[in-house]
Amino acid sequence: MLLKPNLCASLRCALCSSSPSRTVQICAFSSSSSSCQYKLCSGLQSWRECSLNENRKWGSKGPEPPPPPSIETDHDPTASASSLAELGTLVLSTGDPLAKSKLSHIAYSRWRSGNLPLGVSTPPDRPARPPKPYLVSPKEIPSPKDSGLPLNAYMLHNLAHVELNAIDLAWDTVVRFSRYGDVLGEGFFDDFAHVADDESRHFAWCSQRLAELGFSYGDMPAHNLLWRECEKSSGNVAARLVAIPLVQEARGLDAGPRLVQKLVGFGDNRTSKIVARIADEEVAHVAVGVFWFISVCQKMGCTPCTTFKELIKEYNVELKGPFNYSARDEAGIPRNWYDGSSAENHDENEQLSEVYERLACIISMEKENSNLNGDP
């Protein structure tokens, strides 16, 4: 079953007619009607339950809280927002990168306080952006030698751009699909608001380190490729999960170790430690994508592996290696989803899995109808 752009409305109908027993387990997923089992990230629940992370400064020994402000102020820039969705819209509408990063953390902090509803809001067509960096096509991005930046600053600037986009990608997911909160469940939005907070902290670290090197975000052009992937999936929550956490953020798992090695080779151990920490924390973000993609597929009665591959083709999402198998395994992405050589060994099981899930869905619906009709 291919999840078309009208997925959310279809998902609502599917939930209304499906058996209440087809629920999503928080810590693990295993379909009793299927020969295919999914082992999710072992650290996902710990990430969900961790305390609010205030370590937005990179100190001499690693992450640490910023110093308290010299002047106390009662001004709350999010005071006008009365729901999580409205907070997300506020972040998306903020153009200054550092202000966006700080606002993202304040927004998530308010949500964690437990005094706000999810609410419903409409995101801007595109997030607000500063005058610089100039956005160009990927082919127009200057090479390191032509950028005017040393190699470490060049790589750090590229990473800062990714992290800034990641803030908006996570909040757009929260806001855009907020009207389907009763279908997706509050946990979906809590997870992606948490992701947005992590990404805002990562951007703060990158921005701080760029300043220490004598540069700032905007000193060289950047591309808009990440946001184009977001726009393509704006009408389909399953496609959004595939395009962003399962492909784009998973690429960060692949690239992180190589970037760390280059920075060590360049002699910048401080930046290499920041990049290594960011790459390590991104595992949870990919795991969030895996969890909710499987959840949506389960609610729709679809086979996750088959649906993942269909959406990759339908939305023209590019999968490319080399893959960091160990990090992807830790995040819980089955190899046969993205690795062709691995998929060949699982084709038969996948086909059987799809048949079994269809039969289980039909049987559960027949049982429910039988109970409604008063049959024994």
The predicted model scores a pTM of 0.84
Model confidence over 246-273: pLDDT tens digits? 999 999 999 999 999 999 999 999 999 9
The closest alpha carbon to 177, from 306, 288, 89, 309, belongs to 89
Whole-number pLDDT of residue 71: 61
Confidence of residue 118 (pLDDT cuts 50, 70, 90): very high
Q: Poorest-confidence range of 24-33, 72-81, 131-140, 352-361?
A: 24-33
Which range has the top average pLDDT, 76-85, 184-193, 338-347?
184-193
- Angle of helix 97-112 relative to helix 84-92, nearest 10 degrees, comes to 170
Mean pLDDT on 177-198: 97
Whole-number pLDDT of residue 75: 75
Whole-number pLDDT of residue 374: 52
Rounded to a whole number of angstroms, the distance between the first and last alpha carbons of the chain is 32
Mean pLDDT of the chain: 84
With 60 as the cut, is the pLDDT of residue 303 above it? Answer: yes
Confidence of residue 16 (pLDDT cuts 50, 70, 90): very low
With 80 as the cut, is the pLDDT of residue 341 above it? Answer: no
Confidence of residue 369 (pLDDT cuts 50, 70, 90): low
The tokens for 311 are 């959406």
With 90 as the cut, is the pLDDT of residue 97 above it? Answer: yes
Whole-number pLDDT of residue 10: 46
Contacts 24+ apart (CB under 8 A), 116-119: 116/82, 116/83, 116/84, 116/87, 117/82, 117/83, 117/84, 118/83, 118/84, 118/85, 118/178, 118/181, 118/186, 118/189, 119/82, 119/83, 119/84, 119/85, 119/86, 119/178
More confident residue, 311 or 341: 311
Asked if 164 and 100 count as a contact pair (C-beta separation under 8 A), the reply is yes
With 60 as the cut, is the pLDDT of residue 213 above it? Answer: yes
**Which residues have C-beta within 8 Å of that of residue 362, sequence separation ≥ 6?**
none
Mean pLDDT on 297-309: 94
Whole-number pLDDT of residue 19: 30
Whole-number pLDDT of residue 1: 37
In the block, tokens 């009207």 appear at: 179
Confidence of residue 70 (pLDDT cuts 50, 70, 90): low
Whole-number pLDDT of residue 74: 60
Confidence of residue 230 (pLDDT cuts 50, 70, 90): confident
Q: How far is CA 351 from CA 287, 309, 344, in A?
A: 25, 13, 12
The residue ranges of every structural domain in the chain are: 43-57+78-282
Confidence of residue 30 (pLDDT cuts 50, 70, 90): very low
Three-state SS letters, the chain: CCCCCCHHHHHHHHHHHCCCCCCCCCCCEECCCCCCEECCCCCHHHHHHCCCCCCCEEECCEEECCCCCCCCCCCCCCCCCCCHHHHHHHHHCCCCHHHHHHHHHHHHHHHHCCCCCCCCCCCCCCCCCCCCCCEECHHHCCCHHHCCCCHHHHHHHHHHHHHHHHHHHHHHHHHHCHHHHHHHCHHHHHHHHHHHHHHHHHHHHHHHHHHHCCCCCCCCCEECHHHHHHHHCCCCHHHHHHHHHHHHHHHHHHHHHHHHHHHHHHCCHHHHHHHHHHHHHHHHHHHHHHHHHHHHHHHHCCCHHHHHHHHHHHCCCCCCCCCCHHHHHHHCCCHHHHCHHHHHCCHHHHHHHHHHHHHHHHHHHHHHHHHHCCCC
Whole-number pLDDT of residue 72: 58
In the block, tokens 């499906």 appear at: 18
Model confidence over 129-169: pLDDT tens digits? 999 999 998 889 999 999 999 999 999 999 999 999 999 99
With 60 as the cut, is the pLDDT of residue 352 above it? Answer: no
Centre a 10 Å sphere on the Cβ of residue 323 and count the other Cβ atoms it contains: 18
With 50 as the cut, is the pLDDT of residue 43 above it? Answer: yes
Whole-number pLDDT of residue 39: 79
